[in-house]
Amino acid sequence: ERQAAVAACRFVDEVVPASPYVMTEEYIQELVENNGIDYFVHGDDPCLVDGRDVYAAAKSAGRFCTIPRTDGISTTDIVGRLLLLSRDHHADIVGGIPTGGSSSSSSGVFASQQSNFL
Protein backbone atom coordinates (compact mmCIF):
# COMPACT_ATOMS: atom_id res chain seq x y z
CA GLU A 1 0.00 0.00 0.00
CA ARG A 2 2.70 2.45 0.96
CA GLN A 3 4.76 1.77 -2.16
CA ALA A 4 1.67 2.26 -4.34
CA ALA A 5 0.77 5.50 -2.55
CA VAL A 6 4.29 6.89 -2.97
CA ALA A 7 4.47 5.79 -6.62
CA ALA A 8 1.17 7.58 -7.31
CA CYS A 9 2.56 10.90 -6.07
CA ARG A 10 3.07 13.28 -8.99
CA PHE A 11 6.48 14.33 -7.67
CA VAL A 12 7.80 10.75 -7.58
CA ASP A 13 9.46 9.36 -10.68
CA GLU A 14 10.47 5.98 -9.32
CA VAL A 15 10.18 3.86 -6.18
CA VAL A 16 12.96 1.34 -5.57
CA PRO A 17 11.48 -1.65 -3.67
CA ALA A 18 13.50 -3.91 -1.39
CA SER A 19 16.21 -1.35 -0.70
CA PRO A 20 18.40 -2.14 2.29
CA TYR A 21 17.41 -0.40 5.51
CA VAL A 22 20.95 0.90 6.04
CA MET A 23 22.22 2.36 2.78
CA THR A 24 25.94 2.68 2.16
CA GLU A 25 27.56 5.45 0.14
CA GLU A 26 28.25 2.89 -2.60
CA TYR A 27 24.60 1.83 -2.77
CA ILE A 28 23.43 5.44 -2.91
CA GLN A 29 25.90 6.18 -5.71
CA GLU A 30 24.68 3.10 -7.61
CA LEU A 31 21.05 4.25 -7.32
CA VAL A 32 21.96 7.76 -8.43
CA GLU A 33 23.90 6.51 -11.46
CA ASN A 34 21.61 3.64 -12.52
CA ASN A 35 18.19 5.06 -11.64
CA GLY A 36 18.69 8.81 -11.75
CA ILE A 37 17.63 9.18 -8.11
CA ASP A 38 17.73 12.81 -6.99
CA TYR A 39 16.55 12.46 -3.39
CA PHE A 40 15.94 9.83 -0.74
CA VAL A 41 12.80 10.71 1.20
CA HIS A 42 11.69 9.42 4.60
CA GLY A 43 9.37 10.47 7.39
CA ASP A 44 10.62 12.81 10.08
CA ASP A 45 10.92 10.02 12.66
CA PRO A 46 14.50 9.04 13.60
CA CYS A 47 15.88 5.88 11.97
CA LEU A 48 18.72 4.49 14.00
CA VAL A 49 20.49 1.12 13.92
CA ASP A 50 23.04 0.55 16.67
CA GLY A 51 22.93 4.28 17.39
CA ARG A 52 23.77 5.20 13.78
CA ASP A 53 21.53 7.17 11.43
CA VAL A 54 20.58 4.83 8.57
CA TYR A 55 20.34 7.79 6.19
CA ALA A 56 23.70 9.34 7.13
CA ALA A 57 25.21 8.60 3.70
CA ALA A 58 22.25 10.14 1.84
CA LYS A 59 22.36 13.18 4.12
CA SER A 60 26.11 13.68 3.64
CA ALA A 61 25.57 13.44 -0.14
CA GLY A 62 22.94 16.20 0.09
CA ARG A 63 20.25 13.87 -1.27
CA PHE A 64 17.96 13.41 1.75
CA CYS A 65 14.60 15.05 2.42
CA THR A 66 12.15 14.51 5.25
CA ILE A 67 8.38 14.62 5.16
CA PRO A 68 6.10 14.96 8.19
CA ARG A 69 4.24 11.94 9.52
CA THR A 70 0.66 11.64 8.28
CA ASP A 71 -1.95 10.92 10.95
CA GLY A 72 -3.97 7.83 10.17
CA ILE A 73 -1.30 6.11 8.05
CA SER A 74 1.03 3.73 9.81
CA THR A 75 3.08 0.65 9.02
CA THR A 76 1.38 -1.16 11.90
CA ASP A 77 -2.06 -0.62 10.36
CA ILE A 78 -0.88 -1.69 6.90
CA VAL A 79 0.72 -4.87 8.26
CA GLY A 80 -2.42 -5.58 10.31
CA ARG A 81 -4.64 -5.30 7.23
CA LEU A 82 -2.30 -7.59 5.28
CA LEU A 83 -2.46 -10.17 8.07
CA LEU A 84 -6.25 -9.99 8.10
CA LEU A 85 -6.33 -10.38 4.32
CA SER A 86 -4.22 -13.49 4.61
CA ARG A 87 -6.50 -14.84 7.34
CA ASP A 88 -9.58 -14.12 5.18
CA HIS A 89 -8.02 -15.93 2.26
CA HIS A 90 -7.26 -19.03 4.31
CA ALA A 91 -10.60 -18.96 6.16
CA ASP A 92 -12.36 -19.79 2.89
CA ILE A 93 -10.44 -23.07 2.57
CA VAL A 94 -11.19 -26.03 4.84
CA GLY A 95 -9.05 -29.12 4.35
CA GLY A 96 -7.70 -27.70 1.08
CA ILE A 97 -11.18 -27.44 -0.46
CA PRO A 98 -12.70 -24.01 -1.20
CA THR A 99 -15.85 -23.50 0.88
CA GLY A 100 -17.40 -20.81 -1.26
CA GLY A 101 -16.54 -17.76 0.82
CA SER A 102 -17.52 -18.47 4.41
CA SER A 103 -17.08 -15.50 6.70
CA SER A 104 -15.64 -17.42 9.61
CA SER A 105 -12.77 -19.82 10.09
CA SER A 106 -13.16 -23.35 11.41
CA SER A 107 -12.44 -22.01 14.90
CA GLY A 108 -15.52 -19.78 14.74
CA VAL A 109 -13.51 -16.56 14.71
CA PHE A 110 -14.77 -14.10 12.14
CA ALA A 111 -11.87 -13.45 9.77
CA SER A 112 -13.41 -10.27 8.37
CA GLN A 113 -13.31 -8.53 11.74
CA GLN A 114 -10.60 -5.86 11.74
CA SER A 115 -8.29 -5.00 14.58
CA ASN A 116 -6.03 -1.99 15.07
CA PHE A 117 -3.56 -4.04 17.08
CA LEU A 118 -1.03 -6.69 16.18
What does residue 71 show for φ and ψ, rounded to 5 degrees?
A: -60, 140
What is residue 90's predicted lDDT score, i.e. its pLDDT? Answer: 56
Quick: pLDDT tens for 25-78.
Answer: 999 999 989 988 889 888 888 888 888 899 999 999 999 999 888 777 777 787
Whether the model pTM is above 0.75: no
Burial class, 67, CB count within 10 angstroms (exposed 0-12 / middle 13-18 / buried 19+): exposed
Average of pLDDT values for 4-19? 87
pLDDT > 90 in the chain, percent = 18
